A and B are shown apart, each in its own frame.
Chain A
Amino acid sequence: AQSVSQHNHHVILSEAASLELGCNYSYGGTVNLFWYVQYPGQHLQLLLKYFSGDPLVKGIKGFEAEFIKSKFSFNLRKPSVQWSDTAEYFCAVNQNNAGNMLTFGGGTRLMVKP
């Protein structure tokens, strides 16, 4: 069974600091990769996704993620965070031949201090 690991459980940054959140998955086949964001009290919203092609994908709100196949990683980055980026971030993986199941990592809680 596939698993998704987010090693940073809590991250605290000051505004304008750079952000990188780690995500690793265990499945060796073809995967689709996603990052979702959950603002306090809200539902999950898609930040960005990777299917194929350029391993550096750009999403909304200045976020980007890089797929490194050899490391089974899909880390999320943002050059300069804002207070409004305070949220929970979830990495998710969908295997191309594993039906409809989207497996989520445990989430990373980001707090940005003004």
Chain B
Amino acid sequence: DTAVSQTPKYLVTQMGNDKSIKCEQNLGHDTMYWYKQDSKKFLKIMFSYNNKELIINETVPNRFSPKSPDKAHLNLHINSLELGDSAVYFCASSFGTGANGYTFGSGTRLTVV
């Protein structure tokens, strides 16, 4: 049973398209996150949701819009994709403040051509 699952695993798309990445966790966690890992492996938080409410929204273009229909799901929708959006996107989840650490999904490798 996968704890944090992301789909799709790979996504290749053209500039200007709109795409979504889905994330689901079955750990009963109340907080979910999206991280972006660039080509140099640097991990940067994008969003954090606690019980379906946005609590962290780092400086990301407003083309990125997270959606949390319930506390087990946090989807990421990206409008008007750009070449610079190419990266690996990781979903993660935790209890509360994440003091026990996060559980990460397997990542979605997005390539914009």
Most B CB within 10 A of own CB, among A51, A94, A100, A107: A100
- What total count of A-B pairs have CB within 8 Å? 64
A96 interface residue per 8 A CB criterion: yes
Are A100 and B107 in contact (CB-based, < 8 A)?
A: no
Q: Is the CB of B98 within 8 A of A102?
A: yes
A102 touches B45 (CB 8 A): yes
A44→B104 CA distance, assembly (Å): 6
For chain A residues 23-59, which have a beta carbon within 8 Å of chain B?
Answer: 32, 34, 36, 38, 42-46, 49, 51
If A44-B90, A106-B41 touch, whether A100 touches B106 (CB-CB below 8 Å) is: no
Whether A101 and B104, one on each chain, are in contact in the complex, defined by CB atoms closer than 8 angstroms, is no
**Per a CB cutoff under 8 Å, which of B102, B106, B107 touches A102?**
B102
B100's nearest neighbour on chain A, judged by CB, is A49
For residue B48, give the distance in angstroms from its CB to the closest CB of chain A.
Answer: 5
A109: chain B residues at CB < 8 Å are 41
Q: Give the bracket for the number of chain A residues in contact with chain B.
A: 20 to 34
Chain A interface helix/strand/loop/mixed = strand
Q: Does B75 contact A (CB under 8 A)?
A: no
Can you name the residue of chain A whose Cβ is closest to the Cβ of B43? A104
Name the residue on B nearest A44 (C-beta): B104
Bound-complex Cα distance A34 to B56 (A)? 20
Quick check: B56 and A43 within 8 Å, CB to CB? Answer: no
Whether B96 and A100, one on each chain, are in contact in the complex, defined by CB atoms closer than 8 angstroms, is: yes
Distance of A88 Cα from B107 Cα, bound (Å): 15
Q: Are B43 and A99 in contact, CB atoms less than 8 angstroms apart?
A: no
